[in-house]
Structure 1
Amino acid sequence: MASLITTILIISSVFMGSSNSMGVDYYKETCPEAEPVISKIVHKGMINDKTVPAALLRMHFHDCFIRGCDGSVLLNSSGEEEAEKDGAPNISLHAFYVIDHAKEELERKCPGVVSCADILALAARDAVVLSGGPTWDVPKGRKDGRISKANDSLQLPFPTFNISQLHQSFSNRGLSLEDLVALSGGHTLGFSHCSSFQNRIHSFDSLNDVDPTMSPSFAGGLKRVCPVHNKVRSAGANMDSSPTVFDNAYYKLLLQGKSLFSSDQALLSTSKTKGLVGKYAASQQHFFEAFAKSMIKMSSISGGGGATEVRLNCRVVN
C-alpha cells in the first residue's frame, strides 16, 4: 500500500506541474479544513445510504464529461431551461444532498472559497477511498460554471456504445484507451436499472435473443429480473458481485461474460483493451494505480471560459 500511495503522489505532482491554475494545496491557506469536512460529510452519507459512493462517483464523471469539471451537473432547472441533472441520462443521479451539506458547512467555515466543482471532485475521491479503493491527491482550484442544459447530457457515453464510439467519446476529452479501461472499473460500485442493459437480454439481433457473449446463466438471471414488458421501474441488477466495495471484481466478471453493459463487453473487443482488462483482473493493485492516475486526469478536464465563479449554493448560480 505504501508503494501504491507513493506512485500516486508522484503521478499527482507530475500532472500538476503542467497546470498553472490548479494545485493539490490550493486551499492550504484559504480553507485548510476543506478536505476533512468533505470526507466527514461523505462518510456520514454512506452510513445512512450505502448507494452514496456509487452516486457521487457517477455524478463527478457525468459532470466532467459535459462542460469539463465545472459543477454544472449540480445546478437546478430554472424556468423553461432544463438543467443537466434533468436530462435523460442523468435522471437517476442522486445524493446531491451530500454536496449540499458539504457546501453549507464549508460556507460557515470559509465563505465563498471552495467551489462546488471541487467539492464534487473531492467527494468522489472520498467515496472511492471509503469503499476500500485507492486514494489520490485531487488537484483543486476549479471554478463553477453558469451554464447547464439538459440536452447536453446526451453527449455522455451510452451503455450501448461499442469500442469505436467509446474511444471517440473519451479521446474528445483528452482521455486515452488506458483511461477508458481504468475508469470503466468504476462500475465496480452501484446498481443499474434494466433499461441500461435490456438490449443485451431481449431481441439482441436477428439471430440471438440474448447477447451470445454473455454467460447463459447470468443472462437467465437478468431476464427473470428484467422481463420484456418490465413494469417495475426500480428493477435492475448490481454492477458486480460486491457493489458497495471498490475492488477489481468488475474485471474478473467481465472476463466470465458477466458484465451488464454493451460498453463493458466492448472492452474485450480489441487486443489492447482486453489486455488491460486481464491485467486489472489479475492485479487489484495495478487497477488501483491506473484508476487513480486516470481520475486525476479526468477530474482536471477544464470547465473552460464559462466556469468563472465560486457558487454560494451549488444548485443555483450566484
Structure 2
Amino acid sequence: MRRSQFLAAFFLLAFGALTPPMTATAQLRPDYYAGVCPNLEGIVRDAVRQSVAHSPLAAPATLRLFFHDCAVRGCDASVMLINPDGDDEWRSLDGMTLKPEGFNTVMGAKAAVDSDPRCRNRVSCADILALAARDAVFLSGGPDYQVELGRYDGRASTGGSVMIPHGTFDLDQLNAFFSGLGLSQTDMIALSGGHTIGAASCGFFGYRMGADAGMDPAFAEQLRGRCPGGAAGFAFLDAATPLRFDNEYYRNLRAGKGLLGSDQVLYADPRSRGAVDRYADDEGAFFADFAAAMARLGRVGVRTAADGEIRRDCRFPN
C-alpha cells in the first residue's frame, strides 16, 4: 500500500468521529445569540480591529487558530485550554507554531463581550473564535461572510490529539486529511488560500530551496537570503501582498512561488491545477468558495450543552 493511501485510511479512521451529528449542526444559526447578546458581532469586530491595528500577526494567527481548533477536536475552543501538566494542544509540537497574537485576539474579544452585562458568560469561546477568524479575514481585505453560531466549548485538550497537515504533504495526503473532516478537495484548495496572509519559519521550507524543480529559481535565491542561518529565519507565505487577503497566493503558485511544498503541489498536481487557475483569475470565485468552506469547517465536531459548556475563562474548563 502506498504511503499516501495508508494515510488516507488512517485519517478517515482518526477523524471520522469529528463529523457532527445532525442535532449539533441543527443548533447552529447566525442569530443564535440575538436574544441574549444582540450586539455580539459588532463587539467582536471592534475588538479584532484593535488587535489587527496593534500587530500585523494578529489576523493570520487568529485564522490559523480557528483552523487548528476545528481540525483537531472539532470547533470547541479546546485549542485555548491550558492544562497544568502541560499536555494540551497549543504546547504540542505542531501547536507550538501557533502565535500568541491569535490567542490574545480571542481573549481580547472575550473580555469585550463579557464587558456587556447582557452577554457575560453567555457566549462560548468557540463562537467568539469563529467570529474573530471571520473578522480577521475581512479586516485584511477578504470576504465578509455569515458565521453560524451556537457551538459549546469542549472540556478537554491533549497534545496527543494534534494531527494537522504538514508542509511536505502531497495532494493525496491533503485530501485524506480534509476528507476526514468531511471537507472536499475544493474546500481544501479554497482554505489553503488562507496562506495569502501569514508566514512560515525557514525550517518548514528550507529543504525545497535549490532541490525542488517546481520552485522558481529566482524565488529560491530570494528565500536563501531570508534563511542565512538555516531554520532561524522566516518568509511570508505570500511575498507579494503578505498583509492583504487576496488571490495573490494562487498567482504565486502558478509562477512557482509557493512557499510550502503542500502549497506548490496544488499547482504541480494536474488534479488540482484547474482550481488554482480559476482562483488566480477570479478573486470573487475564491472569496465565495473560501466563505463556503469556512462555513463547512465551522460545523466540524460541534458540541452541544450535553457534552460542552460555555467557559467563563477560555483558558480553563469551568
> What per-residue deviation string (whole Å, max 9, x for no partner) do you get for residues 86-125 of structure 1?
1111213122112112112222321221000000000000
Does the Cα contact within 8 Å between 2:192 and 2:263 map onto a contact in 1? yes
Q: Are 2:94 and 1:85 aligned?
A: no
Specify whether residues 304 and 143 from structure 1 end up closer, same or farther in structure 2 by C-alpha distance, changes over 3 A only: closer
Q: What one-letter code is carried by the residue in structure 2 that aligns with 1:100?
A: M
Q: Within 5 Å, give how 1:1-318 maps onto structure 2.
A: 19-78=25-84, 80-93=85-98, 94-95=100-101, 96-109=103-116, 110-153=119-162, 155-201=163-209, 209-227=210-228, 229-230=229-230, 233=232, 235-240=233-238, 241-304=240-303, 307-318=307-318
TM superposition outliers: structure 1 runs of 4+ over 6 Å: none
Q: CA deviation at 1:165?
A: 0.6
Q: CA deviation at 1:135?
A: 1.2
Mapped partners of 2:307, 2:42: distance in 1? 25
Q: CA deviation at 1:271?
A: 2.9
Mapped partners of 2:129, 2:263: distance in 1? 25
Q: What one-letter code is carried by the residue in structure 2 that aligns with 1:309?
A: E
Q: CA deviation at 1:18?
A: 9.8
Q: CA deviation at 1:199?
A: 2.2
Mapped partners of 1:221, 1:271: distance in 2? 27
Does the Cα contact within 8 Å between 2:203 and 2:230 map onto a contact in 1? no
Q: What one-letter code is carried by the residue in structure 2 that aligns with 1:181?
A: I
Q: CA deviation at 1:291?
A: 0.5
Q: CA deviation at 1:160?
A: 1.0
Q: What one-letter code is carried by the residue in structure 1 that aligns with 2:261?
A: S
Q: CA RMSD in A?
A: 1.8
TM-score (norm 1): 0.88
Mapped partners of 2:255, 2:23: distance in 1? 40
Does the Cα contact within 8 Å between 2:109 and 2:128 map onto a contact in 1? yes
Query: In the comparison of the two structures, how many residue pairs are matched?
Result: 291
* DSSP 3-state at the match of 1:145: coil
Equivalent pairs: percent with the same residue?
A: 40
Give 5+ residue unaligned stretches, structure 1: 1-15, 202-208
Q: Which residue of 2 aligns with 1:4?
A: none
Specify whether residues 242 and 307 from structure 1 end up closer, same or farther in structure 2 by C-alpha distance, changes over 3 A only: farther
Does the Cα contact within 8 Å between 2:24 and 2:303 map onto a contact in 1? no
